[in-house]
Amino acid sequence: MLVKNIMTKRIVTVELDDTLKVVKNIFEQAAFHHLLVVENGKLYGVLSDRDLFKAVSPRIGLPGETPQDIATLHKKVHQIMSRKPVCLSPDADVYQAISIFNQHKISCIPIVDERVHPIGILSWRDILRVIEVNHNKKKNVS
């Protein structure tokens, strides 16, 4: 099975100099866990909701927040993103992706074209979803 058949095609991107306030707003409004960091359409990194959680003060929005807490929202994406992410082409086999997930401590793999422009993203959940669907199809045939 090819990655392009199971990857999530809807990607959300941010740029290197976007602030963490922008990122926080995106994550609060969306039901996904990774943003792809691009500049001029080229992929430079990945930013997860966990990266944001670690970088921003937990007191943001609470009565005791301080100016230092608020200042954490002014950090830039390039300061906390994961650089040089492991990527795959859309024609890669899903077993290559599984191998990458097993070898690296990552939770997504950007899918890029030959110019390193992101065209999708693959998470281990995407793979598990396909396994579940295939399993249920086999159960229903029996």
Res. 118: pLDDT tops 90: yes
Q: How many CB atoms lie within 10 A of CB 45?
A: 21
Beta bridge partners of 120: 111
Q: Which helix (H) or strand (E) holds 112?
A: strand 108-112
Beta carbons of 108 and 33 less than 8 angstroms apart: yes
Task: In whole angstroms, give the CA distance from residue 142 to residue 50.
Answer: 42
Res. 142: pLDDT tops 70: no
Assigned CATH class of 3-141 = alpha beta
The confidence band for 136, taking pLDDT boundaries of 50, 70 and 90, is confident
Average the pLDDT over 35-56 and give the result. Answer: 95
Beta carbons of 52 and 27 less than 8 angstroms apart: yes
DSSP conformation class of 73: G
Beta bridge partners of 37: 14, 45
Query: Which pTM value belongs to this model?
Result: 0.89
Report the pLDDT value the prediction gives residue 122, as an integer from 0 to 100: 97
Describe the chain by its helix, strand, coil percentages, rounded to 5.
40, 25, 35
Report the pLDDT value the prediction gives residue 37, as an integer from 0 to 100: 98
Res. 54: pLDDT tops 90: yes
Q: Give the model confidence (pLDDT) of 60-104 as tens digits.
A: 888 989 999 899 999 999 999 999 999 999 999 999 999 999 999
Q: Which helix (H) or strand (E) holds 26?
A: helix 20-29
The confidence band for 12, taking pLDDT boundaries of 50, 70 and 90, is very high
The residue behind tokens 């281990």 is: 124
Report the pLDDT value the prediction gives residue 137, as an integer from 0 to 100: 80
